[in-house]
A and B are shown apart, each in its own frame.
Chain A
Amino acid sequence: MKIRVNGVDQTLDDNVDPDMPLLWAIRDLLGLTGTKYGCGEALCGSCTVHLDGHAVRSCVTPVRRASGRSVVTIEGLSKDGNHPVQKAWLALRVPQCGFCQSGQIMSAAALLAARPRPTDDEIDTSMAGNLCRCGTYPRIRAAIRKAAGLPEDAT
């Protein structure tokens, strides 16, 4: 099975179960541990990656769905952490414990790729599936607005 991950073509062993969660392949087979295992049931969003540009929950996505397609993880979002979302995250010191943040950033990046200047409603509905037990939601929303070039305060 061939998958392009962060711009690099990867070939998985023939004995890889095609129903293996994509998250397992990313973390255990390819060693990209920035993507986190949270709930394992697509309920928390911490495992979010991009599949052909669309945000997916890698914990419930079988690796066969990614065959022949392009996956981007937090490690591949930018070369040196200079994606606008990452820069806004740092500027506003969004993370607290940080466990959910790679998923938050990947969802936010997908949102801004499709909606460069999202409304607050669009931010809320697109980010509704990314949970943060530390409750950093106000900073997450402000950082998305900052990355979009919008005032950080809600309108």
Chain B
Amino acid sequence: MVGAMQRTLGVCAAIAVHACGGSSPPAPLPPLRPVAANELRAPADFASIADRTQRSRSLFLEASRVLMHPRCVNCHPAGDVPHQGMQMMLHDPPVVRGPEDAGVVGMECLTCHQDRNQPLTRVPGAPGWHLAPIEMAWVGKTAAYICNQIKDPARNGGKTLAQIVEHNAHDELVGWGWKPGADREPAPGTQAQFGAIVAAWVETGAACPEENKQ
């Protein structure tokens, strides 16, 4: 069962980036190394994709397995209320994003969340706990949408691609996704592996998957 799921993951990732237009159908992409749901592939796993743009798209899809994981997307809500849990329920207690994406007076993120996880109470925490701004909403979005958003300085906090790589590889709040505490499922792989995938995506031209090819 697990083996079949892993093979499916690999095939899906390869199929997903058949995005070239033109008069002749593109050559099928080579299948990627199967991995478990909690693992990330390394940049070297994409070396078999000869076309640089296709390789870049495939790398972003790998990164999107982290970006679209509930550990990450829960605090990138499309509305004013964050989500929580693998089922992405609305946050309880009922908090709202507020004018600075950090809650409202009396119900600020830091009213309850600390700079680290609280083992006894299970309240998650990390330095700078806050919501992503609404222009960085990921809930309900496709990998193609998120890719274009991440590249757009008007919607990514004014970051360059180099800063995006640094942010994903080393930011402590991003890193919480792999150290969520309690019994929470971490994002796939490790932050270092995720940073390497994002760096490889940028190095290959930061191409985005096409909207209707995912």
Residues of A whose CB lies within 8 Å of any CB of B are: 40-43, 45, 48, 54-57, 59-62, 65, 107-108, 110-111, 113-115, 122, 125-130
Contacts and interface: CB of A to CB of B under 8 A. Distances in A.
B93 A128 contact: yes
A126 B106 contact: yes
Contact of B111 (A56, A108, A127): A56
A126 B121 contact: no
A82 to B, nearest CB: 21
A54 B113 CA distance: 13
9 contacts: A43-B93, A48-B106, A57-B112, A62-B114, A65-B114, A110-B105, A111-B105, A125-B96, A129-B106
A81 B142 CA distance: 55
B38 interface: no
Interface in B30-51: none
B183 interface: no
Q: Is the interface of B mostly helix, strand, loop or mixed?
A: loop
A42 B178 CA distance: 23
Contact of B114 (A40, A55, A61, A111): A61
B105 A55 contact: yes
A17 B121 CA distance: 16
Interface in B77-132: 92-96, 104-108, 110-112, 114-115, 118, 121-123
B125 to A, nearest CB: 9
Given A57-B111, A62-B114, 15 more contacts: A42-B93, A54-B108, A54-B110, A55-B105, A55-B107, A55-B111, A56-B111, A57-B112, A59-B121, A65-B115, A125-B104, A128-B107, A129-B95, A129-B107, A129-B111
A57 B114 CA distance: 10
B205 to A, nearest CB: 44
